[in-house]
Amino acid sequence: MARYYFHLHDYVDVPDPEGQDLPDLAAAIAHAVQQARGLAGELIKETGRVVLSHRIDIEDADGAVLHTLRLADALSIEQ
Amino acid sequence: MAHRNSSNLQPFLDRLNLRSRLLKEEQEAVLNLPVYAAQVRPNEDHVALGEMTDHATFVVSGVLGRFDQNANGERQITALHIAGDMADLNSVVEPRATSALQALSTTTILQVPHRPIREMTARYPALAEAFWRDCMVDAAVLAQWVVNLGRRSAAARIAHLLCETATRCRQGDDKQALRFDFPLTQAQLADATGLTSIHVNRTLKTLSGTVAVAQKSVDILDWDALAARGDFNRTYLQADIRPSERLRIMAA
């Protein structure tokens, strides 16, 4: 287990002060995907708007960015 | 465990007295219930899902979360029990736990065995009535949580929960606590509001002018703004009933 931090960068920067203990980076990315989908869903419901370039940076305890997930990466949108 | 001190139930009696009219003899019966003190570590289930319990759990300090879960084991918090709450009074009449009780921080509890509670309510029906009335408040809170999940925005859900907790911290008072212990992580707050933890974090930032949520405590900076944001009306909590409005339906 390692602690991963999920910092959101959308209209504002929202640092994650607590982090989450997860087995590995793959699990952290899967967690970020769920987080992004939940966030996008609520934003669409409340405002009708979602910016696909907004992103979640997954960092380790030392502040190194291990992975960047854009909202677009978590969603599949068809015309 | 196994430390007995009955006067520790005074806060429970105070809670009952808020809404129900009890005779001196009935009040003494509550204070004379046997209790067993215990401490529950954070994230430890005190009552597991489906477990048969033989006691009700009174919260002395800390917070217990009531949990349910889906088939994948994902948990949803369905109630928060704070100091002064008898978390599962309903277990006296249905001992099989239909939801789990987990400590969200180090929590001191008193276990009150079911049998003496049952004997007491058989002898004093007005106490059964008082318990029934208080369980109705738990049901009213749950109904508000359903409205939260189904019909309120992320900011309103969190604002409502914080206003509710502030009011419950000061039962018997027409005011609310503007600062109170709230040892929930953002992930736990997410489990209570049906949001993701990142969305909780984001929402707390948008509410930062009205409320400051730190790791262990909450500071409400602008009560009126937070209550308006949360669509919060305290009536359902029945927290400030006047003495003349206290009920006693059953005869002495």
Residue B48 included in any domain: yes
B238 conformational bin, left if phi > 0, alpha if psi -120 to 50, beta if neither: left
Is A8 in Cβ contact with B198 (below 8 Å)?
A: yes
Measure in Å the smallest separation between the Cα of A25 and chain B Cα atoms.
Answer: 17
> In this complex, do B154 and A42 lie within 8 Å of one another by their Cβ atoms?
yes
- Give the range of the structural domain holding residue B211, as residue numbers without chain letter: 143-237
The mean pLDDT of A15-35, rounded to a whole number, is 95
pLDDT for B252 equals 62
Amino acid at B123: R
The complex scores an ipTM of: 0.91
The yes-or-no verdict on residue B2 having pLDDT over 70 is no
Note whether B124 and B12 are same-domain residues: yes
**Option in A10, A38, A46 nearest B196 (CB):** A38
Looking at the complex, report in whole angstroms how far the Cα of residue B167 sits from the nearest Cα belonging to chain A: 27
Sequential DSSP letters for B141-176? HHHHHHHHHHH--HHHHHHHHHHHHHHHTTTTSSS-
Average pLDDT over residues B212-229: 94
Q: What is the mean pLDDT of chain B?
A: 93
Give Cβ neighbours of residue B230 (< 8 Å, ≥ 6 apart).
Answer: B152, B156, B157, B158, B159, B160, B161, B162, B163
Report the CATH number that the domain containing residue B223 is assigned in CATH. 1.10.10.10
The pLDDT of residue A12 is above 90: no
Average pLDDT over residues B189-201: 95
Asked if the Cβ–Cβ distance from B202 to A39 is below 8 Å, we say: yes
Nearest chain B Cα distance for residue A78, angstroms? 24
**Nearest-CB residue to B201 (from A14, A38, A46):** A14
Percent of chain B at pLDDT above 70? 97
- Write the CATH number for B18: 2.60.120.10
**Gap between the Cα atoms of B93 and B29, Å rounded:** 19
Q: How far apart are CA B252 and CA B24, in angstroms?
A: 11
Q: Report the number of distinct structural domains present in chain B.
A: 2
Domain range list for chain A: 2-74
For residue A24, give both structure tokens: 């590995």
Token code pair at residue A32:
């970020």
Give me the residues paired with residue B81 across strands: B64
Are the Cβ atoms of B202 and A14 closer than 8 angstroms? Answer: yes
Tell me if B195 sits within 8 A of B157, measured CB to CB.
Answer: yes
Q: Quick one: average pLDDT of A19-39?
A: 96
CB nearest to B196's CB, from A12, A17, A35: A35
Query: For residue A54, what are the CA distances in angstroms to A4, A13, B186?
Result: 19, 10, 21
Classify residue B250: in a domain, yes or no. no
**B176 and B225 belong to one structural domain:** yes
